[in-house]
């Protein structure tokens, strides 16, 4: 199902496919909030900018499915940052994200972008006694960074909490209206945006980069990889330091009962709340039920977990929207912003936003634009993309490098009648035939769709996701529909389709 944000935009497609070779100062790959924010700032500085987007509509991937809280309160992070990096770096993280809120507010005001931007307070709360001490320590940590957060025991929520940290004067908006507003300013300032244009490779040629799409190329001095999970592995090695996590969202009509503020709890399962003005009504957006993308777990209850929770407080509510999406999670909880690799000057990246990409993408755009302008940015060292901290999380690391199997080169297969008959309708499985694996989905009418269940990114064995009818990669979070079409990065190629006799 579409997100409410996507449904809120009329006249979505104003962009065309790239059908000629062109040159530009900067080539940006991806029209999510990060790519568009970079494009916006760069055209304002007089750069000639080209933005390439593989989807038909801009900002239709993670940015089009977020919950769009604009806050520097990234759940419980500041005590962790102080403990791992020290106060100076933790303060920079906090102030960079606080500044991002003001930057976004400034863009909305200056450019008159009608995106339902509103100021509100943000809370991390707990109902779990075991978490209370963590909440108190986090609040002390934030205060020690000279930021005036408050520990409170009462909030506007319709249920009791044991404790919460309040960050005042944060914000929320409609991320897609904001994205279309940025795109409008970019094109009005001579920037070019092309959709239905998938980037397949980037090569260095002398002082320039050549960005290759299916049939054309863009020559540019600078490249910004704003593709969410990078689809290029060599030199950057992001596949060794990032995975993807899926979260589920519902939008419910609470029939006039509302509360102010934006909320997330610190315990698991996670629940995130905010209201949105939508077509004359206030709808409650509830997010959570996170899991590592591609995990072999039962997903049939993912939306129900959210719905059951919200019905405790709003028993008569009506669920109007359900959607899910994924974000990149860095192993040390800090985004990767800056040079793609030390060996690729002038090629930049912003990724690993850890589900806090509304402010992080603005931080990233400012750091990268400053690099292009040759200016120092006081926050860049915290987020340095080429940092070489030891990866402490061995379990995650192991997960990401195991499960690699050899790619199969197959076109035609004979599977035993028995195997196919045993497969229930509307389910998918990886079947073994002659020692080789085949991913088979049998639709509601019994029609069979078979693919090579090996991810086209780095060859991991895919898992079947029966909720969305997709093949998901447990290593880096690429996703494909049941016909094998690529949906989410880092893979950019479709799966091989297998014909079954």
Residue 472 binds to ligand FAD (criterion: CB under 6 A): no
- 48, HSE (Cβ side, Cα atoms, 13 Å): 8
Of residues 3, 8, 31, 463, which one binds ligand FAD by CB under 6 A?
31
Piece of 12-20, 61-69, 137-145, 380-388 that binds ligand FAD (CB under 6 A): 61-69
Of residues 5, 18, 53, 91, which one binds ligand FAD by CB under 6 A?
53
E strand intervals along 31-149: 49-52, 69-70, 118-126
Nearer to ligand FAD, 231 or 340 (CB): 231
* Residue 357 DSSP SS3: helix
Of residues 29, 38, 182, 450, which one binds ligand FAD by CB under 6 A?
29
Residue 67 binds to ligand FAD (criterion: CB under 6 A): yes
How far apart CA 357 and CA 326 sit, in angstroms, is 12
* Residue 134 DSSP SS3: helix
Burial class (CB in 10 A: 0-12, 13-18, 19+), 209: buried
Q: 165-204: which residues touch ligand FAD (CB under 6 A)?
A: 198-199
8 Å CB contact between 236 and 250: no
How far apart CA 310 and CA 306 sit, in angstroms, is 6
Shortest spacing between CB 54 and ligand FAD, in angstroms: 4
8 Å CB contact between 340 and 28: no
Nearer to ligand FAD, 200 or 425 (CB): 200
Piece of 65-73, 83-91, 339-347, 375-383 that binds ligand FAD (CB under 6 A): 65-73
Going by the DSSP 8-state scheme, the letter that residue 10 receives in this structure is S
Q: 345-384: which residues touch ligand FAD (CB under 6 A)?
A: 353, 355-359, 361
How far apart CA 252 and CA 311 sit, in angstroms, is 10
8 Å CB contact between 143 and 149: yes
Nearer to ligand FAD, 43 or 306 (CB): 306
Shortest spacing between CB 129 and ligand FAD, in angstroms: 27
Cis check: omega of the bond before 269, within 30 degrees of 0: yes
Piece of 60-68, 202-210, 432-440, 466-474 that binds ligand FAD (CB under 6 A): 60-68
Nearer to ligand FAD, 218 or 438 (CB): 218
Residue 211 binds to ligand FAD (criterion: CB under 6 A): no
Start-to-end CA distance of the chain, whole Å, equals 33
How far apart CA 69 and CA 96 sit, in angstroms, is 16
**Which contiguous run of DSSP H or E holds residue 363?**
helix 357-373
Of residues 326, 339, 380, 403, which one binds ligand FAD by CB under 6 A?
326
Nearer to ligand FAD, 78 or 353 (CB): 353
Residues 6+ apart with CB under 8 A from 435: none
Nearer to ligand FAD, 226 or 283 (CB): 226
Shortest spacing between CB 427 and ligand FAD, in angstroms: 25
Going by the DSSP 8-state scheme, the letter that residue 379 receives in this structure is T
Residue 287 binds to ligand FAD (criterion: CB under 6 A): yes
How far apart CA 117 and CA 173 sit, in angstroms, is 4
Residue 236 binds to ligand FAD (criterion: CB under 6 A): no
Piece of 57-65, 126-134, 304-312, 449-457 that binds ligand FAD (CB under 6 A): 57-65
Where do contacts with ligand FAD occur on this chain (CB under 6 A)? 29-35, 52-55, 59, 61-63, 66-69, 198-199, 226-228, 231, 247, 249, 287, 325-327, 353, 355-359, 361, 489, 492
């Amino acid at each position: 199902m579409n997100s409410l944000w996507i449904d809120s935009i009329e006249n979505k497609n104003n962009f065309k496919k790239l059908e000629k070779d062109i040159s530009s100062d900067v080539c940006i790959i991806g029209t999510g909030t990060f790519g568009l924010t970079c494009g916006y700032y760069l055209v304002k500085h007089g750069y000639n900018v080209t933005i390439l987007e593989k989807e038909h509509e801009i900002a239709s991937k993670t940015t089009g499915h977020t919950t769009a809280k604009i806050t520097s309160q990234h759940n419980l992070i500041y005590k962790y940052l102080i403990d791992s990096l020290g106060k100076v770096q933790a303060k920079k993280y906090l102030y960079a994200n606080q500044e991002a809120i003001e930057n976004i507010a400034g863009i909305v005001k200056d450019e008159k972008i009608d995106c339902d931007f509103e100021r509100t307070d943000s809370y991390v709360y707990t109902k779990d006694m075991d978490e209370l001490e963590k909440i108190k320590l986090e609040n002390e940590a934030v205060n020690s960074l000279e930021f005036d957060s408050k520990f409170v025991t009462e909030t506007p929520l319709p249920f009791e909490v044991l404790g919460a940290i309040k960050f005042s004067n944060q914000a929320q908006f409609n991320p897609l209206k904001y994205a279309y507003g940025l795109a409008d300013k970019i094109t009005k300032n001579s920037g070019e945006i092309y959709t239905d244009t998938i980037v397949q490779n980037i090569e260095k040629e002398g002082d320039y980069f050549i960005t290759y799409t299916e049939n054309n190329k863009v020559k540019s001095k600078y490249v910004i990889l704003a593709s969410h999970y990078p689809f290029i592995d060599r030199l950057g090695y992001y596949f060794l330091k990032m995975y993807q996590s899926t979260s589920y969202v519902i939008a419910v009509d609470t029939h006039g009962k509302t509360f102010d503020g934006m909320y997330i709890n610190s315990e698991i399962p996670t629940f995130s709340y905010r209201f949105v003005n939508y077509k004359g009504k206030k709808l409650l957006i509830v997010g959570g039920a996170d899991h590592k993308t591609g995990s072999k777990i039962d997903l049939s209850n993912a939306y129900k977990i959210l719905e059951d929770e919200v019905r405790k407080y709003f028993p008569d509510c009506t669920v109007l929207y359900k959607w899910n999406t994924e974000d990149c999670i860095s192993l040390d909880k800090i985004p990767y912003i800056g040079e793609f690799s030390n060996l690729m000057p002038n090629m930049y990246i912003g990724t690993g936003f850890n589900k806090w990409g509304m402010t992080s993408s603005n931080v990233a755009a400012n750091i990268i634009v400053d690099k292009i302008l040759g200016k120092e940015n006081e926050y860049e060292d915290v987020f340095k993309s080429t940092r070489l901290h030891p990866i402490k999380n061995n379990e995650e690391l192991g997960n990401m490098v195991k499960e690699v199997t050899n790619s199969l080169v197959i076109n035609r297969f004979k599977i035993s009648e028995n195997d196919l008959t045993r497969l229930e309708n509307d389910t998918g499985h990886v079947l073994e035939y002659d020692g080789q694996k085949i991913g088979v989905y049998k639709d509601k009418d019994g029609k069979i769709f078979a693919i090579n269940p090996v991810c086209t990114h780095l060859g991991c064995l895919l898992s079947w996701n029966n909720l969305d009818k997709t093949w998901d990669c447990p290593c880096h979070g690429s996703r494909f529909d049941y016909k094998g079409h690529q949906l989410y990065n880092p893979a950019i190629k479709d799966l091989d389709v297998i014909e079954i006799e």
